[in-house]
């Protein structure tokens, strides 16, 4: 009986350790929204993905077959595809062909939260709606101010 309780206790400890390690991966407060060919997108809050898609004019960037699909559309997948399409269009327009690129986008709730993320790193306020950190290959952007352009 003691051996069985010991095995159960060890199992519980291992489970707690694994859960703790998983929680540490999300310690910065971001949750995974979507992964695409060129971007991994995280967000700090729950937000309306369809609102972002509308602001980004997603139907222009996605092929018609994705919009006419008989399956229920997955907004997270559509966001990834839209971001990839914008990236490809921009790299082609600039004649920069970086097909092995993969970056991170972290969406925060508003410009104040963008400034907070900037202040954590550079100890000064930041009045803009987004910024890019080259060393981390990460874009921080405000959900409330996301627009195309």
Rounded Cα gap, residues 58 and 63, in angstroms: 10
Dihedral-angle region of residue 141 (phi above 0 means left; psi in -120 to 50 means alpha; beta otherwise)? beta
Q: What percent of the chain has pLDDT over 90?
A: 50
- What is the predicted pLDDT for the residue at 114? 97
pLDDT digits (tens, 9 = 90+) for 98-139: 778 999 999 999 999 999 999 999 999 999 999 999 999 999
Nearest to 100 by CA among 87, 83, 118: 87
- What is the predicted pLDDT for the residue at 16? 34
Q: Please check the confidence at residue 21 and state whether its pLDDT lies above 50.
A: no
State the sign of the Cα–Cα–Cα–Cα dihedral 68, 70, 72, 77.
negative
State the sign of the Cα–Cα–Cα–Cα dihedral 108, 112, 113, 115.
positive
pLDDT digits (tens, 9 = 90+) for 26-52: 548 899 999 999 999 999 988 889 899
- What is the predicted pLDDT for the residue at 143? 95
Structure tokens belonging to residue 134: 């080259």
- What is the predicted pLDDT for the residue at 62? 60
Mean pLDDT of the chain: 79
Helix runs in the chain, H state only: 2-25, 49-55, 58-61, 64-67, 75-93, 111-122
Place of tokens 């981390």: 136
């Amino acid at each position: 009986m003691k051996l069985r309780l010991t095995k159960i206790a060890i199992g519980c400890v291992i489970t707690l350790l694994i859960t703790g390690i998983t929680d540490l991966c999300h310690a910065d407060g971001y949750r995974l929204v979507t992964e695409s060919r060129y971007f991994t997108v995280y967000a700090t809050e729950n937000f309306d993905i369809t609102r972002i898609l509308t602001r980004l004019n997603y139907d222009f960037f996605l092929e018609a077959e994705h919009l006419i699909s008989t399956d229920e559309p997955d907004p997270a997948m559509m966001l990834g595809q839209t971001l990839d399409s914008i990236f490809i269009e921009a790299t082609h327009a600039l004649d920069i062909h970086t097909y092995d690129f993969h970056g991170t986008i972290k969406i925060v709730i508003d410009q104040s939260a963008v400034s907070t993320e900037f202040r954590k790193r550079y100890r000064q306020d930041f009045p803009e709606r987004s910024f890019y950190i080259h060393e981390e290959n990460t874009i921080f952007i405000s959900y409330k101010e996301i627009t195309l352009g």
